[in-house]
Structure 1
Amino acid sequence: MSPSILLPLDGNPDAAPAIAHCMHLARAQSATVVALYLQPYDDLSSPAASAVRDGDVLRTVAAVAAAIGVPCVALTRAAASPYAEIIAAARERQCDLVYLGAMKDQPTGAQVAALQQAGLGLAPAALAPAAKKSG
C-alpha cells in the first residue's frame, strides 16, 4: 500500500502555497493525497452554496495534484469538531501523515497533541509554509 497524506482544508483563500508544498511532499514520497474539506456546521443551512464552495476548493486541489502528478482523493465532512474529523478521516483512509499548513485556523497545542496521541504523523512545521489568516 502506498503512503498517503491527509490534507485538511477549511476554504482558506490563502492556502495555495501550502497546498502546492503538500503536493510536492507527496510526490517526493510517492504518496497519495487525501484532500479533506471540513465544512462548518453553520454552512449546512445553505446546502447549495456550500456544495459549490466545497466543489471549488476540491477542484482546485485536484488540479494542483494533477499538474504535479500526484494521485488525489477528495472528501467532504461536516465538522462541528474539525480535529475529531481529521483524526477519523486519517484513520479511515490509513493516512501516514497529516499536513496542517493549508487551514486558516491553525491548530492549538492541545489539538496538535490530540493528533499525535491518535498516532498520526504531522508534516514538520519548519517545512510547511503556514497559510495566512484571511481577513
Structure 2
Amino acid sequence: MLLLLIELRTSLEEHQSALELIMSKYREQMFRLLMASKKDDPGIIMKLKEQHTKELQAHVDQITEMAAVMRKAIEIDEQQGCKEQERIFQLEQENKGLREILQITRESFLNLRKEDVSESTSLSALVTSSDLSLRKS
C-alpha cells in the first residue's frame, strides 16, 4: 500500500510539473498570437483570459481531486496499520496466557509423576514385606 502511495505522489508531482510547463507554453503562444493579430481588441483579450482561467481551474480541480484520493488512501493505510498492531498485541497477550497455562500444566504433571513414583515405591515395599510374611508362614 505504501508503494502505491509513493507512486501516486510521484505521478501527481510529474503531472503538476507537466501541466505547469504546458500552461506556460500555452500562455506564451496565446500572448504572441494576440499581439500579432489584434493588439487593441479588448474582447479577444477577455475571451482568452476567460478560456485560460477555465482551463487552469479545471486542472486545479483535477489536482485537488487527486490529492483527496491520496489523502484517503493514506488514511485507510494508517487505519489498517493500527488494526494490524492491535491484532498483534492481542495475539501476544493470548500467547502469553497460553504459555502460563502450559507451564502450570507441566508443573502439575511433574508433581503427579513424583507422587506416583513415591506411591509405587511404597506399594512395592508393602508387597515385598507381605510376600515375605506369607512365605514365612
The structure whose residues are more often strand, as a share, is 1
The structure whose residues are more often helix, as a share, is 2
> Same fold by TM (over 0.5)?
no
Asked which structure has the greater CA Rg, the reply is: 2
- Tell me the TM-score range normalised by the shorter chain: under 0.3
Give TM-score scaled by structure 2 length.
Answer: 0.25
